[in-house]
Chain A
Amino acid sequence: MIKFIAANKWFKNSHVLKNINLEIAKGEVIVICGPSGAGKSTLLRTINKLEPIDDGEIIVDGMYISDPRTDLTALRAEIGMVFQHFNLYPHKTAIKNITLAPRKVRGLSRKKAEERALKLLEKVGLDHRQDSFPVQLSGGEQQRVAIARSLAMEPKIMLFDEPTSALDPELINEVLDVMTSLAREGMTMVVVTHEIGFAQKVADRVVFMNDGEIIEIGSPPDIFVNPQHERTKEFMSSVFHIPIFSESQEEE
């Protein structure tokens, strides 16, 4: 579904994606983790070409993203994206946030688009908030509306960039629940998150990134409990507070 072939990206002089090779199958759920500045967001944003890559290629559902003939609208319409800070349109109600793109991009009638939006709002448990403006919603509700907004385009792939890290702890689960059910329905998902419970439960593979490189890829237990690389071990023990003992410590 998504295939990175030796993808590289630079911002001015800093090399933020270093020779990325990664293949993601249809229906797979990938969790990306790694320290801040590792290039996780950038990696995600190259998939829908919010950031162009400088070298290599990414093939998304048969479309070559660095080919100038690729229709960006068609590419992006197939890829939903959910942001850390929700990025709902503050001047539009929840339902208008959701219906805008289907109407303008897919050319749906208002009635059709609203029907679809209501179904999605119901799915994320917010059908009673359709006429609320974003500021009237809690963070968790805003993020669920944002997910519904992406789903309204009926994408084949969903990208999540730290969708819960701007939320109060008690609101995190309502968002993760929506994401979990989406994964269960077979959506192809790439999720940047440090929610280890979510990763354990739904991720097929976990990608650990550091300094623009993919350090290791493996099943959740492989990466979280049994990491091979020193850098991964360090990160897991510091961020997740998982006591992983390095071999030298065990010998002592």
Chain B
Amino acid sequence: MNLTLRIWRQRNAQERGSLVSYEAKDISPDMSFLEMLDVVNERLIAKGEEPVAFDHDCREGICGMCSLVINGLAHGGRRATTTCQLHMRHFKDGDVITVEPWRSRAFPVVRDLVVDRTAFDRVIHAGGFVSSNAGGAPDANALPVPRDDAEKAMDAAACIGCGACVASCPNGSAMLFVAAKVSHLAHLPQGHPERAQRVLGMVHQMDLEGFGNCTNHTECEAVCPKEVSISHIAKMNREFIRASVLEA
């Protein structure tokens, strides 16, 4: 298939970027989106031009490194799909595809389609962990966890921290990411001792990083490659109210 790509090119964080058009000819529908970009890059290199910089690592939908807003939708907007798992068969011959980086004040562009997501790391540093020494693996069922809690914690822990929630939110809010981390640990006994500090600290850091505020558009949930539910945002809201009233 033959495609026209409009790709955001930006040399570095300081310079202004712009959309540049490229013809991508003879693309196999079996390629992933990133493999298609690899082909485009090989041809650019052969012509002596700068290849397009983009983030990726595992290419099997588990690491959270790949990003890209494709035709206005994070990871292309297909259900439960990362960009590395998005296949070209979902596009049509002759399509014009616009590829942009995550847009957020908290995620500055490093180069082309690569953004700096260390804001997420700082949010995690602010409380997204259990600091007690857990020792070796405990005996099974020594610490009972109700099945529903275990399931909810697991669903929240599926978050790979890619940042699609921020990219897709009309307000640039990171609530789904932060909520996944808060909810994951709040559902488990190991997370309880630091429950209040955790939610207050992480929300404080989230605000400091310049993310927006949730107005319940629920776009985040729709694009999340791990289908993390906004029920975790409600859980974080409850955790925040509880911590504000009872502690702090």
Partners in one complex: no
Which residues of B are in contact with A by a Cβ distance under 8 Å? none
